[in-house]
Amino acid sequence: MFTTRPELTGTFGMVASTHWIASQTGMAVLEKGGNAFDAAVATGFVLQVVEPHLNGPAGEVPVIGWDARADRPFVVCGQGTAPALATIAAFRDLGLDLVPGTGTLAACVPGSFGAWLLLLRDHGTLRLADVLEYAIGYAEHGFPVLPRIAGTVETVADLFRDHWQSSAELWLPNGAPPEPGTMFRNPGLAATYRRVLDEATAAGSDRDAQIEAARVAFYEGFVAETLAEFVEKTAVMDVTGRPHTGFLRADDMASWRASAEEPVAYDYHGHTVLKAGPWTQGPVFLQQLALLADTDLAAYGPCSPEFVHVVTESAKLAFADREAYYGDPAFVDVPLDELLSPAYNDERRRLVADTADVGPLRPGSPGGRTPRLPDIGGLVYAETAGAVGEPTLSPTGETRGDTCHLDVVDRWGNMVSATPSGGWLQSSPVVPGLGFPLGTRAQMFWLEEGLPASLAPGKRPRTTLTPSFALRGGAPYLAFGTPGGDQQDQWSLVLFLRHVHHGMNLQEAVDAPAWHSAHFPSSFYPRQAEPGRILVEDRLGEPALDALHERGHRVSVADGWSLGRLSAASRDSDGVLRAGANPRGMQGYAVGR
């Protein structure tokens, strides 16, 4: 099969990510003796600088890893919680029935910084200065502007000029967006991270004490104080067309900690697939596997209409359950055991027909529960689907972002997969004195009482961010994932299925034609859905597209290289390492040796 670049093979280390500079940064850390977790942290911080339209310091990140020393997997939760003042009543008092997708009303506690520090402290080996120096260097000395950065800034330039002056000062040098390919600097961000390091160093020579001092500087010190003052005192224009102050306060920052937890697991055809819990959409990947477990997928071609159809129809059922049952398990009893049980999935599998489901969502009743769906008034059906992948920028000026991803494996058998996102340059104004904007992840909450994903103070929004990990024969084998909002656990699922059932190597599975369903409501403002809609890359071929039409799918044909930005890294039982990365967008790369 044709691939855009070779699957990398080696024995020393592999790093794959959505940006070539970040991948090379991770490899540089491995080369100087760091492990996979050190490399992941350095890669993550660099992604904040070089992909600011896709993630930032005030965003969030879930992480799945395998620690070879401890011989066990783990999940790091880098999803911040809703502020204490952020109640449904508070939003209703503002005349809102959805959390806006921009501004400061949707700000949760920033989670990325704390998560990277936790990963470094508990699983890495290097000091914070050793891994943060790369991000500081690119922020100080410059990085090449991606065409998509320039295009994003161009789309929101008037918003910056008219309402977000701090963003205009950074992103409109000389009054205009930066040109693609030119070098861009963010001295404010560099200064913020340098001050964090200064406070860390002042704590003494102990590595863990330095990491803790950096956490305190961010969550209890000058960063938290600056963020809280800005949110409380600055009315920010958002997508509602009105300016609002936000709810985030210093106490919210000080009381939050990144945390570690056990992954959710499902055994499938000799593999054990691991995902983060239902505060992410991650278990929906496992539900799809459970629905497909008794289907002979190897009998279908990897680009056949039969394969696309059965995978898509299973996704519709799994994502319906996501809407009905998923939420922060600290607040919600999510019936994962029942949702993944053979009996439940035997019953659900019978709903997969030869023709496409184009009707309402059909959640199940695990353990006899009565499903509860949000009041979805925004269901739409259009001849052309409105967004490809995670929502980005619309002609109406809505400013939503995409995501990054990274996978790392080292020679000692450590492996990690992480999906950083949020804090997009186009979603909230740059906070003066810090060089970065706040995140808007609270838009995932519903302002309707009684739902698993309803807003509540101290609650994690049910995020779409969802790295993936698989064991083979009980040993760590594959780290993989993609940006793409609701589509992440569709695109990454297809990579995994093609690898397992059709024998595709990692690069072949990354490059193969992609598709996804838009049948269920988007997790992003304004929460629209397109019943029966499937977006398919045109490389799938006219015969397959025609067959999907005949089965009743509402097919929208996408450009041949437009859906998903997958990457993956693996380790065989003999210690051979492999990696592949996505050519779509012309920025993702894998490096290794």
**Helix/strand/coil for 569:** strand
pLDDT at 198 over 80: yes
Mean pLDDT in residue range 351-375: 96
pTM over 0.75, yes/no: yes
pLDDT band per the 50, 70, 90 thresholds, residue 112: very high
DSSP string across 163-181: T-HHHHHHH-GGGSPPPTT
Whether 104 maps to a domain, the answer reads: no
Mean pLDDT in residue range 161-183: 97
Mean pLDDT in residue range 125-147: 98
Give 526-539 pLDDT, tens digit per residue. Answer: 888 999 999 999 99
Whether 17 maps to a domain, the answer reads: no
In the chain, the number of structural domains is 1
Mean pLDDT in residue range 128-146: 98
Tokens of residue 167, six digits: 């963003």
Least confident among 176-190, 353-367, 399-413: 399-413
Mean pLDDT in residue range 56-78: 98
pLDDT at 141 over 60: yes
Residue 566 · residue 495 · CB < 8 Å: yes
Whether 29 maps to a domain, the answer reads: no
pLDDT of the residue at 377: 61
pLDDT band per the 50, 70, 90 thresholds, residue 30: very high
Residue 27 · residue 411 · CB < 8 Å: no
pLDDT band per the 50, 70, 90 thresholds, residue 375: confident
Mean pLDDT in residue range 456-463: 98
Whether 241 maps to a domain, the answer reads: no
Mean pLDDT of the chain: 95
The range of the structural domain enclosing residue 375 comes to 263-386+464-566
Return the H-helix or E-strand segment holding 279.
none
Give 549-571 pLDDT, tens digit per residue. Answer: 999 999 999 999 999 999 999 99
pLDDT of the residue at 382: 39
pLDDT of the residue at 379: 45
pLDDT of the residue at 381: 39
pLDDT at 384 over 70: no
Give 173-191 pLDDT, tens digit per residue. Answer: 999 999 999 999 999 999 9
Tokens 């190597």 identify what position?
505
Whether 131 maps to a domain, the answer reads: no
DSSP string across 95-145: T-SB--SSSSTT-----HHHHHHHHHHHH--S-HHHHHHHHHHHHHH-EEP
Whether 355 maps to a domain, the answer reads: yes
pLDDT at 386 over 80: no
CB within 8 Å of 103: residues ≥ 6 apart? 236, 237, 238, 239, 243, 244, 246, 428, 440
- Residue 510 sits in a domain whose CATH number is 1.10.246.130
pLDDT of the residue at 402: 84
pLDDT of the residue at 401: 65
Q: Is 236 or 2 the better-scoring residue by pLDDT?
A: 236
Closest to 81 measured CA to CA, from 323, 322, 261, 254: 254
Mean pLDDT in residue range 439-450: 97
Q: Is 379 or 98 the better-scoring residue by pLDDT?
A: 98
Whether 268 maps to a domain, the answer reads: yes
- Nearest 10 degrees: Cα torsion 142, 143, 147, 149: -70
Whether 342 maps to a domain, the answer reads: yes
Give 276-307 pLDDT, tens digit per residue. Answer: 999 999 999 999 999 999 999 999 999 999 99
